[in-house]
């Protein structure tokens, strides 16, 4: 369960305080697939980053599995993210000096899991990259890099997966492949999936669509029942 209560976020800019999110409350049940949509500047990516523990809110509460993210120490938050959270960035954020296999193995090594390379190879095979294990990011297409990022996000079997515009840098055909991959991984792992997107096709395949505007929730609509 993700439980957000009276969440606000402001940033200092040009000598003044700029509100990004204003008093947002939201609950997301386990295993639900949720799209966060809205115009640019509405606060979508900020909300996603706060839910993933990548930033601290100005006010309010964020609970994942009854753990309060906003009051954790940095070291405790890092351990929690490593154990519970997978995150897919729009710009992939692969480590350029590591191969595809090594990129996926990193979170496994950090968590102390044995057989990290074998697990990483299995994940890359599951996303159709069994023949690209030893390739560096620069040797991979955008779609291949995103698939490596998806495999890395699922490496530690996180109960929560967050994705920021996962198809934003991809052509339509490759985007559909990544959408299908996310849905298949969600089905196989039972992960709670929350993503930010401008892609209406992707949003329409989620179970719930939350629309933001000017830092507020404009609408919150169930599009399909929980499985």
If one compares 82 and 226, the residue with the highest pLDDT of the two is: 82
Place 3 in a pLDDT band, splitting at 50, 70 and 90. Answer: very high
Return the pLDDT at 162. Answer: 94
* Averaged confidence pLDDT in the chain: 89
The Cα–Cα gap between 6 and 190 comes to 28
Q: How far apart are CA 36 and CA 44, in angstroms?
A: 6
Distances in Å between the Cα of 72 and the Cα atoms of 2, 6, 62, 68, 75 are 16, 18, 11, 7, 8
Mean pLDDT, range 123-146, rounded to an integer:
92
Q: Which pLDDT score is estimated for 127?
A: 85
What is the fold, at CATH topology level, of the domain defined by 2-222?
A: Rossmann fold (3.40.50)
Backbone angles phi, psi at 152, to 5 degrees: -65, -40
Per-residue pLDDT band for 114 (boundaries 50, 70, 90) equals confident
Whole-angstrom Cα Rg for the chain? 17
Residue extents of the structural domains in the chain: 2-222
Q: Is the confidence at residue 210, as pLDDT, over 90?
A: yes
pLDDT tens digit string along 76-91?
998 899 889 999 888 8
Q: What is the pLDDT of residue 223?
A: 86
Q: Is the pLDDT of residue 191 over 80?
A: yes
- Average pLDDT rounded to a whole number, residues 218-223: 92
Predicted TM-score (pTM) of the model is 0.89
In this prediction, residue 166 has a pLDDT band, given cuts at 50, 70 and 90, of confident
**pLDDT classification of 225: cutoffs 50, 70, 90:** low
| Bridging pattern class, strands 85-88 and 67-68 | unpaired
Average of per-residue pLDDT across 170-183? 82
Residue 99: per-residue pLDDT: 97
The total of other beta-carbon atoms located within 10 Å of residue 7's CB is 23
Mean local confidence (pLDDT), 32-50: 94
């Amino acid at each position: 369960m993700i439980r957000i209560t009276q969440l606000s976020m402001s940033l200092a800019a040009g000598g003044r305080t700029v509100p990004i999110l204003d008093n947002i409350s939201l609950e997301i049940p386990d295993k639900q697939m949720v799209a966060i949509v809205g115009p640019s500047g509405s606060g979508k990516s900020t909300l996603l980053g706060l839910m993933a523990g990548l930033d601290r809110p100005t006010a309010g509460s964020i609970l994942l599995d009854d753990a309060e993210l906003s009051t954790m120490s940095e070291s405790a938050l890092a351990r929690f993210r490593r154990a519970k959270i997978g995150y897919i960035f729009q710009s992939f954020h692969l480590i350029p000096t590591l191969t595809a296999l090594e990129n996926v193995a990193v979170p496994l090594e950090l968590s102390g899991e044995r057989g990290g390379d074998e697990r990483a190879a299995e994940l890359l095979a599951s996303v159709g990259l069994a023949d690209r294990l030893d390739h560096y990011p620069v040797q991979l297409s955008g779609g291949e890099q995103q698939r490596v990022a998806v495999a890395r996000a699922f490496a530690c079997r996180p109960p929560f997966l967050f994705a920021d515009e996962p198809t934003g840098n991809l052509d339509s055909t490759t985007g559909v492949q990544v959408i299908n991959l996310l849905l298949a991984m969600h089905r196989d792992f039972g992960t709670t999936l929350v993503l930010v997107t401008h892609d209406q096709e992707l949003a329409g395949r989620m179970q719930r669509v939350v629309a933001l505007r000017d830092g507020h929730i404009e609408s919150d609509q169930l599009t399909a029942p929980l499985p």
